[in-house]
Structure 1
Amino acid sequence: MLPRDERRRLREIEQQLVDEDPRLARKLSQTSTLGYLRARVSVRLVAAAFAGVLAIMCLFLDEGVAALTSAALAGLLMISRTWRVELL
């Protein structure tokens, strides 16, 4: 347990953050499952999973070129760490 003066100081810092940037303070205080998933799962990962599923479907449908294209896209999306896509 923190001493009383440290707890008071932490409350002051929290209040200062809320006053200066309420949007950030709200994001930091959210603990919902949706917020957790949103922070962990990127658009790139969702697109790569979709392309991977599409590649498997194309293999079952004997569409070789489409399967290779989808697999290449899935691989490219999985290894590209520098692409940054942000949703509003």
Structure 2
Amino acid sequence: MLPRDERRRLREIEQQLVDEDPKLARRLSQTSTFGYLRARVSARMTLAACAGVLSLMCLFLNEGAAALTAAALTGFLLISRTWRIELL
């Protein structure tokens, strides 16, 4: 917990922001479900989820090789989720 004087100063800064730019203050204080998910879920995790669903579909359709390939892709994407990809 912050000390009382720091909390007071933060409230003053917040009030200044509301007074100077109410639209920005409103945007910063509102969080949407889509915005939250977009911040938490990466493109790699979305691809992993799609590959996992594809793997299950192939398994139910008796396509063993395709199910194994999709499962391997899912595993690779889940393992590599912490890797950084740098473009030249």
User: What band does the TM-score fall into relative to the shorter chain?
Assistant: 0.5 to 0.7
- TM-score normalized with structure 1 length: 0.63
* Residue-pair matches, total: 76
Where does residue 71 of structure 1 map in the other structure?
71
Query: What 5-or-longer segments of structure 1 have no aligned partner?
Result: none
| Aligned-residue RMSD, C-alpha | 3.1
Kindly report which structure 2 residues correspond to 1:7-46, keeping only aligned pairs within 5 A, or say none: 7=8, 9-10=9-10, 11-12=12-13, 15=17, 29-46=29-46
Match of 1:61 in 2: 61
SS at match of 2:4: coil
- Deviation by residue 1:50-75 (Cα, 9 ceiling, x = unmatched): 10110111111111111111000000
TM-score, normalised relative to structure 2: 0.63
> Percent identical across equivalent pairs?
59
| Structure 2, gaps ≥5 residues long | none
